[in-house]
Amino acid sequence: MFDHINIPLILIAALLATASPGPSTLAIAGTAMAHGRLQALSLVAGIATGSWIWSISAALGLSAIMTANAWVFELLRYLGAGYLLFLAYKSTCSALSPAATKLRSVSSRSYRIAYGKGLAMHLTNPKAILFFGALYSVGVPASATSWEIASVVVLIGLQSMVVFATYALLFSNPRIVAIYLRLRRWLEAGFALAFGFAGIRLLSVKL
């Protein structure tokens, strides 16, 4: 069904980047803790919309560029590997830091405003921009068909929505929050190893 694309690899990479602590996930967690799950889910809807926008833009733009210029694929491959190694470094620093992760909330008077804040947050999030650029350049070769590219966009979008919504639901539970804060450094260490392995693997494998 997917002759040119490694779907499991793409989804695993997307899952790691989406689930790892960042501006969006920390905002969702903080909002769920401070204002409840409905506010957090409204924020999630906005963030997910921003994620779809970047995903579609990256898929269409990079596909056209790589078809016309094969060397761009190799360049973006190295940039993608560098970004993964950068994430590994950030996660390592966080794991070694004894300071607790700061969870910031996004409060609003209406769910519509919370949605707008989530959308604006993700559209201006450098992590999202770099991630989607790296993901499509690495996982989607120039030979991929339009149907395969569209399938990747849909699968990544649905997976991101599930992950973000899970954050909103979990962090509205005080017990889950306490467990997360207790295991934070171990989780960060796990993310560091995963990102580091993915980055090194990407540099060593011929695509």
**In the predicted structure, residue 155 carries a pLDDT above the cut 80:** yes
Angstrom distance (rounded) from CA 88 to CA 160: 20
Q: Which residue has the higher pLDDT, 191 or 106?
A: 191
For 121-148, write each residue's pLDDT tens digit. 788 766 777 778 777 766 676 677 778 8
Answer left, alpha or beta for residue 174, where phi above 0 means left and psi between -120 and 50 means alpha: alpha
Predicted pLDDT at 98: 73
pTM across the whole model: 0.68
Backbone angles phi, psi at 20, to 5 degrees: -70, 145
Residue 3 pLDDT grade (very low, low, confident, very high; cuts 50, 70, 90): low
Predicted pLDDT at 96: 82
**Across residues 156-174, what is the average pLDDT?**
90
Could you tell me which of 97, 81, 102, 98 has the C-alpha nearest to residue 29? 102
**Across residues 91-109, what is the average pLDDT?**
67
pLDDT-wise least confident of 25-39, 54-68, 186-200 = 54-68
pLDDT-wise least confident of 40-49, 103-112, 122-131 = 103-112
Angstrom distance (rounded) from CA 101 to CA 97: 9
pLDDT-wise least confident of 14-18, 136-140, 143-147, 185-189 = 136-140
Quickly count: other Cβ atoms within 10 Å of residue 43's Cβ.
34
**In the predicted structure, residue 63 carries a pLDDT above the cut 60:** no
Residue 65 pLDDT grade (very low, low, confident, very high; cuts 50, 70, 90): low
Mean pLDDT for the chain overall: 77
Residues 6+ positions from 135 with CB-CB distance below 8 Å = 10, 13, 14, 17, 58, 80, 156
